[in-house]
């Protein structure tokens, strides 16, 4: 493995009730607690809950075993929101690990306190609220 940089364009945000609209491609996904403002048709994200990866993001999120855990992170009036970024299958685990290690979402356990890959730089674009747009993680 070598030092690598990954550019991830993050799309979102899908409300829990609309998660069937998530892309069905290979990538990383982000789970948030948020609220919807009907007056101006906008989303306010409150916290990042979880980061994952999948061959098919839509199918993974729709059938995730941690769904009930995610709901436990919501406060009154909040709902789950999702975003996703396409990543080639060969790099997906490394990119997911970098995001988790850097952001340390409360519902993740793996990679929070370790990073088993060579130096990895992530450059995020698109819908990046609560996500750092540029960061680097080193093996530890």
What pLDDT does 1 receive?
A: 67
Cα angle at 57 between 113 and 10, to 5 degrees? 75
Q: What is the DSSP string of 31-72?
A: EEEEEEETTTTEEEEEEEEEEEEESSHHHHHHT-TTHHHHHT
- State pLDDT tens for residues 98-118: 999 999 999 999 999 999 999
Domain with 56, as residue range(s), is 4-137
User: What CATH number is attached to the domain comprising 91?
Assistant: 3.40.1440.10
Q: To which residue do tokens 């290690």 refer?
A: 101
Task: Count other C-beta atoms under 10 Å from residue 56's C-beta.
Answer: 14
- The dihedral region occupied by 88, where left means phi > 0, alpha psi between -120 and 50, and beta the remainder, is beta
What pLDDT does 65 receive?
A: 97
What's CA 11's distance to the chain center, in Å?
10
Q: What is the DSSP string of 7-21?
A: EEEEEEEEEGGGGGG
Dist. CA 93–CA 116, nearest whole Å: 11
Average pLDDT estimate for 130-135: 97
Dist. CA 115–CA 55, nearest whole Å: 21
Average pLDDT across the chain, whole number:
96
- Look at the chain and report how many structural domains it folds into: 1
Q: Does the predicted TM-score (pTM) go above 0.85?
A: yes
Average pLDDT estimate for 114-130: 97
- State pLDDT tens for residues 23-65: 999 999 999 999 998 899 889 999 999 999 999 999 999 999 9
């Amino acid at each position: 493995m070598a030092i690598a940089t990954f550019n991830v364009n993050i799309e979102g945000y899908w409300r829990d009730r609309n998660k069937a609209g998530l892309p069905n491609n290979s990538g990383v996904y982000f789970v948030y607690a948020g609220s919807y403002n009907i007056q101006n048709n906008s989303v306010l994200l409150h916290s990042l809950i979880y980061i994952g990866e999948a061959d098919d993001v839509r199918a993974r999120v729709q059938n995730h075993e941690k769904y009930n855990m995610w709901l436990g992170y919501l406060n009154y009036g909040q709902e789950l929101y999702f975003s996703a970024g396409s990543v080639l299958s060969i790099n997906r685990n490394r990119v997911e690990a970098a995001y988790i290690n850097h952001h340390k979402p409360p519902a993740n356990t793996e990679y929070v306190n370790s990073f088993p890959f060579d130096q990895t730089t992530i450059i995020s674009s698109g819908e990046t609220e609560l996500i750092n747009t540029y960061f680097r993680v080193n093996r530890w």
